Structure 1
Amino acid sequence: MNTTPVPQFRSLTKGMLVMLICLGLLFAALIGLNVFKNKMIAKFVDSMATEPAAVSATRVGYETWQPRIDAVGSLRAARGVDVTSEVTGLVRAVRFSSGEDLKAGAVLIELNDDTDAAQLQSYKAAAELAQTVYRRDAAQYQINAIARAVLDADAADLKIKKAQVVQQQALVDKKTIRAPFAGRVGIATINPGQYLKPGDPIVTLQAIEPLFADFSVPQDQVSKLAAGQTVTIRTSARPGESFMGRITSTSPKIDTATRTVQVEARIDNRDGKLLPGMYASIHIDAGAPHRYLTLPQTALTYNAYGTTLFVVQPGRQTNEQGKVLPVAQQVFVTPGPTRGDQVAIVKGISEGAQIVTSGQLKLSNGTPLIIENSALPGNDATPAPQEQ
C-alpha cells in the first residue's frame, strides 16, 4: 500500500522547476550582457581613428645593374722590406731622413769600420807579397833553379791571400748599409753611437709605386676572372675616391679551408695616395648588364611567410583636419640580387609604385601615413666605408 504524500512531492518538483528556470534566465542574462559588451567594444574600436604613422617613401624604378664580384683585401708594396744589419757594429752616421724617397744603393747608415779597414790593408799587403814571391819563383822555375812543388805552393798561397782580401773587403762593405731598391723609408729610430747586432731593424723601405691588392674570391667566380681585367679599389682612408687597377695573376690553387682563390691586382699609385697595408674594397665587373626594379634594402621586411613591403595607396577617409591621408598596404614580393644599399625586386610590384622605406615596424594594412623624406635611408649602389 503506497503511503507517500502526493501533494508534498508535487510541491517539491514545482519548486525545483522554478529554480531551474530562474538559473536559466540568469545565465541567459549574463551571456546577453557579455555579447552586448563585446559588440559595444568592437563598435568603439571601429569608431576610433587610427593614428597616422610617419614614414619615408620612394618611387620604385628600373636601374641598370652591372654584375660584379665584390671582395675585400689589403694593399701590398711591389717590394717592401724591413732593412736590418748583417754584421755587428757601432753606428757612425745616419744618412737618411724619415719619409725620404731614396734610389737603389743609397747609403742608409755607416757602421764603425776602422778595425776592419786596417785588417783589409794587412791582407792586401800580404797578397802583394805573395804575388811578388810567386813571380820570382816562376822565373826561377823557368831556369830549373827550384822544383815545381815550390811554385805550386806559391800559387796556392797567393790564392789564399787574395781570398782573404775579398773576404775582408766584403766585411768592410757590409759596414755601410745601403737601400736594396728604390723606395720610401719609414721613421728613423737609429742614432749615431747606437750598437747594432745582426738582425736588428733599422728602417722599413717600401716601393709604393706600384702597389698590389691581394684578395680572395669564391671558387664559383674563378671563371669570370682573367689577367688584365679592370678592378676598382676603394679604401676608407680615401673616402669618395676610387682607384683603378688590373688583375695580374690568379693563384693556380683553391684554398681547401675557405674554397676561395687568391687574386693579385696591380694598382697605379703614382700620386702616392695609397699606402701598403691599407684595407681595401675591391669591385670587379663581370658579365653583361641587367635591368631591375630597384629599392633600398631597408624597404623589405621578413617574416615566416616570406618577404614583404608596404605600398603607399590612396586613402578614403578624412582625418580630423579634413585631409585624406594615404594608407599602407602590405604585399609579398620576390627579391633578387643586392648591391650596396640596394636590392632588386623580381616579382610583386610594378614600376612607379610608391614604397615605404623606413618606419614599417609600426604599420599594418590600412594604417594612415604621413610621408616624411627629410632623412632617407641609404640607397647607394657602391657605398664606401666611412670613419666617424
Structure 2
Amino acid sequence: MRAARIILGLVVILASAVGGMWLTERLLAAPEPAATARGGDGPLRVETIAPETVTFADAVTAVGTARAHRAVDLLPQSGGRIASIAFQPGDHVSEGQVLLELDSRAEQADLSAAEATVAEAQAAFDRQQSLNRTGSASDAAYQTARAELLRSEAERDRILVALEDRVLKAPFAGIVGLTDLVEGQVIDTATTVTTLDDSSTILVDFAVPETLLPRLQRGQRVELTSAAWPGRVFEGDITHIDSRVDAATRSLALRAELDNRDSALAGGMFLQARLVLDERRRPAIPENALTVEGDRTLVMLAKGDTARQAVIVTGQQQDGLVEVVSGLPASAQVIVTNLHRVVDGAGIEPVARERRVDAAPPGPEGGG
C-alpha cells in the first residue's frame, strides 16, 4: 500500500513537471502584445494632419491711459452776471457755438458812445481833408483830425473786444461736460464753466522698456482692450515716440492714436496695450503632436506606410498650436494619434484628420 502511494506521488510530480515545461514553452513562443498590435493584425491605424500656416507675432504688453485728442476747461474771458447758459451737459457742440452769455448792458452802452465818437471824428476829419485839398486848412489841423479819428476807432474796437468777451464760444467741435452754474450767478475769469472734449480720436500714452528702442518706429500697430468692452479689441498706430528715456524707470514713453468716432472710449479710461513689434507666417502643429527628449523636440511623420521620426525647432505657442521654425517639410504629414504606440520605422495606416473649425461667437468689431 505504501509503495502504491509512493508511485502515485512520483506520477503526480512528473505530470506537474511536464505540464510546467509545456506551459513555459507556449509562453515563450507567444508574440509580445505591442508587436501583435503593430504587425500581428496589420499596420497601426493613425491620424495625420498637414502643418497649418499661422501668423505669429512678437509683442509687448503695457498699461495705458486714454485721453481725448483735444480737451480743455472752458473759462470766461471776463467776469460778470450770467445772462444765459446755452448748452446742456453731454451736448455735442460745433466750433464757434455760443455756450454762455454774460450781462453786457454796460458794454453795449460803451459801444454806442464809442460809435458816436467815431462818427463825430469822421465828420471832422472829412472837413479837414476837404479844406486841406483846397489849401484852406493847414496840414497840422488835418493831421490832428486824422489822429482823433484813429483814437476813436481804436476805442470802439477795444469795446467790441470787451463785448465779445461777454460771450463764451466753443473753440472746437466736441462734447461739453457737466456744469454747476446757473443763470444769474456772478462769475469771474477763474470760474470753470464746463469742459469740452473732442473724442473723435483717442490718444493712449504708455511706456515700454528701453531695450525695445531699436525695434520701435512710427506706424506700428497697437491692440488695445478695456474692461468696459470685454472681448473687443481696438486697433491704433504709434504716432509719437519720446525723445528721452525715463531715468527712474528706464522706460520709453509712446503715444498711440485710434479712431473713436463711435465714442466707445472716453478720456481717462484705463487700457491694456499690446504693441506688435514683428509679425511672421510660419507652419504650426498641435502641441500634443510633440515629444520632448532632453534638448530635442520630436514629431512622428507618416511617410507612405511607415512612421519616421523628425527633429524640429519650435518657437511660440498660440491657441494650442506650436510654431515650427525649422525641421518640418511643408508637405509633411504629422501623426497626431496613437503616439505612445508608434515607433520609428513601424508600419502604419495613415488617415487624414478633418480639421475642426470652431465658429467664433458674434461680437462687435474693434475700432480703428
**TM bucket by the smaller chain?**
0.5 to 0.7
Structure-2 change in CA distance of 1:267 and 1:219 (3 Å): same
Q: Give the TM-score, by structure 1 length.
A: 0.58
Query: Matches of 2:100 and 2:182 in 1, distance apart?
Result: 9
Structure-2 change in CA distance of 1:104 and 1:127 (3 Å): same
Alignment RMSD = 3.0
Q: Could you tell me how far 1:261 is from its partner in structure 2? A: 1.8
Query: 1:72: which partner in 2?
Result: 63
Query: Matches of 2:203 and 2:286 in 1, distance apart?
Result: 36
Query: Matches of 1:165 and 1:177 in 2, distance apart?
Result: 21
Aligned AA for 1:181?
F
Q: Could you tell me how far 1:189 is from its partner in structure 2? A: 1.8
Q: Could you tell me how far 1:144 is from its partner in structure 2? A: 2.4
Matched, 1:239 2:243: no
Residue ranges of structure 2 left out of the alignment (5+ in a row): 1-51, 289-314, 324-334, 337-368
Query: 1:365: which partner in 2?
Result: none
Residue ranges of structure 1 left out of the alignment (5+ in a row): 1-61, 296-335, 345-350, 353-388
Picking from 84, 87, 98, the partner of 1:107 is: 98
Where do 1:228-377 residues align within 5 Å?
228-288=219-279
Query: Matches of 2:145 and 2:246 in 1, distance apart?
Result: 61
- Residues 149-195 of structure 1 deviation map (CA, whole Å, 9 limit, x = unaligned): 11111111111110111110011011111101000011132210011
Q: Give the TM-score, by structure 2 length.
A: 0.61
Matched, 1:164 2:155: yes
Picking from 124, 128, 150, the partner of 2:115 is: 124
Where do 1:56-67 residues align within 5 Å?
66-67=57-58
Query: Matches of 2:144 and 2:87 in 1, distance apart?
Result: 48
Q: Could you tell me how far 1:64 is from its partner in structure 2? A: 7.6
Q: Could you tell me how far 1:146 is from its partner in structure 2? A: 2.2
Fraction of identical pairs, as percent: 27
Aligned AA for 1:126?
T
Aligned AA for 1:262?
A
Query: 1:7: which partner in 2?
Result: none
Matched, 1:141 2:132: yes
Q: Could you tell me how far 1:139 is from its partner in structure 2? A: 1.2
Contact 1:103 1:183 in 2 (8 A): yes
Aligned AA for 1:250?
I
Query: 2:357: which partner in 1?
Result: none
Query: Matches of 2:67 and 2:129 in 1, distance apart?
Result: 60
Query: Matches of 1:294 and 1:237 in 2, distance apart?
Result: 33
Aligned AA for 1:123?
A
2:135 aligns to what SS in structure 1? coil
Query: Matches of 2:263 and 2:274 in 1, distance apart?
Result: 21
Query: 2:205: which partner in 1?
Result: 214
Structure-2 change in CA distance of 1:151 and 1:64 (3 Å): closer
| Number of positions where the alignment pairs a residue of Structure 1 with one of Structure 2 | 245
Contact 1:86 1:199 in 2 (8 A): no
Query: Matches of 1:90 and 1:245 in 2, distance apart?
Result: 45
Query: Matches of 1:81 and 1:288 in 2, distance apart?
Result: 39
